[in-house]
Structure 1
Amino acid sequence: MSLVLVELRKTVDTRAGRWLLAAVAALAVAAPVVQGGRTFPEAAAAAQLPVSILLPVLAVLSVTSEWSQRTGLTTFALVPDRWRVVLAKLAAVTVLGLAAAGFALTAAALTAGGADLAGLADAAGPADAAGPADAAVAGQLALVDVATMLCGFGFGLLLLGSAGAVAAYYVVPIGWAAAGRLVPALEPAARWLDLSRTRAPLDAPGVTAAEWVRFGASAAVWVALPVLLGLLRATRAEIR
């Protein structure tokens, strides 16, 4: 637990990290207002957008800074077990994603109105019809935020370089999404493996079983696989 707290503190120890968190928070508050969502799902989707787009950069930097700034020499000397350090980073990134999702969803609920906030609070017990649906959307969007954070974390582990990992995190999925839409032969695969497409239904209630399966398939490729391969690389890479 202490290692997780240390890794969480590292995310705000740098000026870049603090400014990025501040920018994400400001955009999460402003987005639902600008978008003008009248219902909680609409406001939540708007508030969650900057979290899922910008915050994964912090997940990338949480890994790559150990190599690019040579702090790994100190980190792994103090804690010789690399698995403990890397798994602590993974836990910290997950906690940060959940915290950011909670902040964005709270901002969305306040923007959408007191009735939606009450619906979220009463979702566990008897409530009006909107309560459980709003709670479902909140959970789905929190899952999306964590998935995008872990995707950035995986790219960081794989490349172990800040510039390359950040560029790859944005360029590779966007390039695949564009290819899936422009090349007819790739369309069937893109329906299953384009994370930007498969996560779209999670912005609203009533996600079907087929939509969950497609989201799971794309998350396996863009989240689980990079994280697993990256864990292997980060625990074996030479520290310089």
Structure 2
Amino acid sequence: MTVADFRAPLPTCGGIDVDRPGIPFARLVRVELRKLVDTRAGFWLTASIGVIAAVIMVAMLIANRNDPGNLNLGEFFGMMNIPTAIILPILAILLVTGEWSQRTALTTFTLEPRRERIIGAKLVASMITAVAAVAVALVLGIIGNSIAAVAFADPAGAWGLSVAGFVNSFVIQAFGLLLGFGFAALILNTPGAIVAYFALPTALSVVSELVPWFKDNLGQWVDTTLTNMPFQSGEWATGGEWARLLVSGVIWIALPLGIGLVRVMRSEVK
């Protein structure tokens, strides 16, 4: 047998080319996006983003009919992003842990043995979902604001949404989603990841409120509630506020995600 024999294309097996190229990354992303709505929990969580935003729009129109100053695009958009900030991280957690809780990891990693590509596709799919959720909130906010402009007197229907407010909303959504994604990769268990996502930030917030020294020193850098607070306004965050957000992101997103990626790469799939 010569060297050329080793370089020759592998034979086909049952009509399948053994030497075929890997699955395109775009296809992996499409598969992960489809997984978001394949299960009942994922479908209803995804659908609830639009449904809850629509309910909030109607509720705001009714509750503020005597106070038209609160009926503007900035208020509509801000209120509709509140349920999104809660639901998106849960969707990210389900997307990551679903492979292990539903025992589909063996099939997934058999079709694509390079596990880092699967995690990357899940991350990209999650970020696409975040962009779509913010877009839905913006569209429904525009609809609600248009209705307010027609149904109520000035200043209802004002189009006061700054670029900073829009960017800040996306930063908040992306941060929370990545936080859930990191915990999911670390724990690989749906209940455990959801509990960790809600419990740990809440515990830090309690410590910040009870211990002023912690809040004024460490809390400003590690408490995600505090580091996210400057991005809940319509003003541009300062360099220091961005630095504190990035530090908290490294602690609560990058480290769990890095450890989780190592765990996924080394875990035995059963």
Structure 1 unpaired stretches of 5+: 117-129
- Which of 19, 29, 39 is the equivalent residue of 2:54? 29
1:203: which partner in 2? Answer: 232
**Structure 2 Cα separation of the partners of residues 33 and 222 of structure 1:** 36
2:264: which partner in 1? Answer: 234
How far 1:5 sits from its partner (Å)? Answer: 0.3
Aligned residues: 227
Normalised to the residue count of structure 2, the TM-score between the two structures is: 0.77
- Which of 176, 182, 205 is the equivalent residue of 2:210? 182
Three-state SS of the structure 2 residue aligned to 1:235 is helix
How far 1:54 sits from its partner (Å)? Answer: 1.8
How far 1:175 sits from its partner (Å)? Answer: 1.0
Three-state SS of the structure 2 residue aligned to 1:80 is coil
Any idea what the Cα deviations from partners look like across 1:19-50, whole Å, max 9, x if unmatched? 11122221122234435542333222211110
How far 1:182 sits from its partner (Å)? Answer: 1.3
**Structure 2 Cα separation of the partners of residues 143 and 214 of structure 1:** 14
1:13: which partner in 2? Answer: 38
- With over 3 angstroms needed to count, the CA separation of the structure-2 counterparts of 1:182 and 1:32, relative to structure 1, is farther
Say if 1:65 and 1:162, in contact at 8 Å, map to a contact too: yes
Any idea what the Cα deviations from partners look like across 1:151-197, whole Å, max 9, x if unmatched? 11111100001111111111111111111111223212112222222
Aligned residues with identical type, % of pairs: 38
How far 1:112 sits from its partner (Å)? Answer: 3.0
1:73: which partner in 2? Answer: 106
- Which of 149, 159, 168 is the equivalent residue of 1:140? 168
**Structure 1 Cα separation of the partners of residues 265 and 98 of structure 2:** 15
- Higher helix share goes to which structure? 1
> What is the correspondence of 1:1-240 to structure 2 with a 5 Å cutoff?
1-35=26-60, 36=64, 37-113=70-146, 134-187=162-215, 188-209=217-238, 210-240=240-270
Structure 2 unpaired stretches of 5+: 1-25, 65-69, 150-158
**Structure 1 Cα separation of the partners of residues 242 and 76 of structure 2:** 22
**Structure 1 Cα separation of the partners of residues 147 and 166 of structure 2:** 16
The aligned amino acid for 1:53 is I
How far 1:115 sits from its partner (Å)? Answer: 10
**Structure 2 Cα separation of the partners of residues 16 and 205 of structure 1:** 33
RMSD: 2.2
- With over 3 angstroms needed to count, the CA separation of the structure-2 counterparts of 1:150 and 1:79, relative to structure 1, is same
Any idea what the Cα deviations from partners look like across 1:187-236, whole Å, max 9, x if unmatched? 12112222222222223222331322222222222222222222222222
The aligned amino acid for 1:150 is L
Say if 1:32 and 1:44, in contact at 8 Å, map to a contact too: no
Moved >6 Å (runs of 4+): none
